[in-house]
Amino acid sequence: SLSTLVIVMQVLVIGSGGREHALAWKAAQDNDVENVYVSPGNAGTALEEKVQNIEIDINDFAAIENFCVTKKIGLVIIGPEKPLVDGLSDFLQSKGIKTFGPSQAAAQLEGSKTFSKDFFIKYGIPTAGYSSFDDFETAKAHLEVIDYPTVVKADGLAAGKGVIICGNKDEASEALKNIFQDQAFGEAGNRVVIEDFLKGEEASFIAVVSKDKIVPLATSQDHKAVGEGDVGLNTGGMGAYSPAPIVDARMHQKILDEVMEPTMKGLINEGSPYLGFLYAGVMIYNGELKVLEFNCRFGDPETQPILLRLKSSLVQLCLYAIDDKLELYESEWDKRHSCGVVIASEGYPEKYLSNQEVELQELQSDTMKLFHAGTTLENNKVMTSGGRVFCATALGANLKEAQTAAYTLVHSVSFNGAFCRTDIGYKGIK
């Protein structure tokens, strides 16, 4: 019988952010999992039980394959969008390595705004009106015929920073100049999407999708702007919480019916069935919704509060998805709320301070977890190495209690130039 069979699994997580720390931490909790390797990882993964960092060049697919074969890796989870858009999942799968993450073709949902917008139209998925341009003059002429505010987006991957909300024609013109002429986002800006500005409240709807099956994860919301009250520059996300009160049962069903199902079917129709985390950023207004964007991966920082609430196995979820048996997975969620507060480095999301020594008090408990993001371990010291450095994540009976606990955990961390938003979760508490 199965119980006499000792299964020892080796897992490889690709990436180095807070999301990857959370994925590795959760995977390591499985009794069946012997080792979780993270490439390249951060100080948090280096210090985690059963978890170890390894240095492999993420662009060297053959080296990753080689590692997987040598270590008998039974599951690869790819965290960030870049290797997915570069085709790492296709490559590893073609070598017979169990890999959780969409194909290069399916990852175009995030890799190209034009691709995703055209896809939404083709499959009747609600989204903001838009036009797409590949030269400055034509795009600039378009500014004469639209309403303001408007939204200018670089077509390709820009680490969450390629979206500029423009209050008037001059700002929009400046944004086009930045993207096309000054190449602020490099090749990602060879094309630009100009789309209607949408009012409302955003939510992150993240599911595991495998071909024609969907397992929705707990709902969440993040705070993208750097400043309190959601003002200032957009970042990768300054904090998140789960569940998202705005996604009630009706809205949940609506997102499944109007967004996730048609996307899953559309991808099958296009010959690129999905496998992996699929993240729809939606704008909700007056009970209606529109899709802002798709991501072909788990959100960061949404992963951290969501995984703190996941009681069932992450590894099993990924394996069932890969083996086309997703219907067998029974997800179990902690009823409590969770809140994650990002601690960032002075200057982020622009040029930021780095290489500062971190002082940490041990404050971890069953209901709190300090996830690392931009940290490295040097001579047993935790040093800062990124814009977003930690995500202090905690559970509570309600969002307010989760928020209070998360800020208690924030205070256990100190380094030069550390800052966080003091209002993470307010939209869900109000």
Residues that bind ligand AMP (CB under 6 A): 128, 151, 153, 160, 163, 165, 195-198, 202, 224, 234, 281, 292-293
| 110 near ligand GLY, rule: CB under 6 A | no
| 295 near ligand GLY, rule: CB under 6 A | yes
To 10 degrees, what angle do helices 314-322 and 18-28 make? 90
In the bound state with ligand GLY, the residue whose beta carbon lies nearer, of 48 and 300, is 300
| Residue 374 Cβ vs ligand GLY, minimum distance, rounded to whole Å | 15
Tell me the C-alpha distance between 312 and 305, whole Å. Answer: 15
| Residue 257 Cβ vs ligand AMP, minimum distance, rounded to whole Å | 21
- Whether the CB-CB separation of 121 and 133 falls below 8 Å is answered with no
| 258 near ligand GLY, rule: CB under 6 A | no
In the bound state with ligand AMP, the residue whose beta carbon lies nearer, of 48 and 202, is 202
| Residue 19 Cβ vs ligand GLY, minimum distance, rounded to whole Å | 8
| Residue 397 Cβ vs ligand AMP, minimum distance, rounded to whole Å | 29
Q: Which does 68 bind (CB under 5 to 8 A by kind): ligand GLY, ligand AMP, none?
A: none
Q: Which does 65 bind (CB under 5 to 8 A by kind): ligand AMP, ligand GLY, none?
A: none
Close Cβ partners of 378 (under 8 Å, ≥ 6 residues apart): none
Nearest of 423, 422, 419 to residue 353 by alpha carbon: 419
| Residue 66 Cβ vs ligand GLY, minimum distance, rounded to whole Å | 30
Q: Which does 222 bind (CB under 5 to 8 A by kind): ligand AMP, ligand GLY, none?
A: ligand GLY
Residue 3 one-letter amino acid:
S
Q: Which does 292 bind (CB under 5 to 8 A by kind): ligand GLY, ligand AMP, none?
A: ligand AMP
To 10 degrees, what angle do helices 113-122 and 261-269 make? 100
Tell me the C-alpha distance between 426 and 334, whole Å. Answer: 21
Q: Which does 305 bind (CB under 5 to 8 A by kind): ligand AMP, ligand GLY, none?
A: none
What's the length of the chain? 430
CA distances from 335 to 95, 143, 243, 316 (A): 40, 48, 9, 21
DSSP 269: H
Query: Quick one: which of 20, 48, 65, 300 contacts ligand GLY (CB under 6 A)?
Result: 300
In the bound state with ligand GLY, the residue whose beta carbon lies nearer, of 68 and 151, is 151
Close Cβ partners of 97 (under 8 Å, ≥ 6 residues apart): 65, 68, 69, 73, 76
- Whether the CB-CB separation of 82 and 111 falls below 8 Å is answered with no
In the bound state with ligand AMP, the residue whose beta carbon lies nearer, of 74 and 239, is 239
Among 117-125, 144-152, 268-276, 298-306, which window interacts with ligand GLY (CB under 6 A)? 298-306
Tell me the C-alpha distance between 56 and 30, whole Å. Answer: 25
Residues in touch with ligand GLY (CB under 6 A): 160, 222, 236-237, 295, 299-300, 302
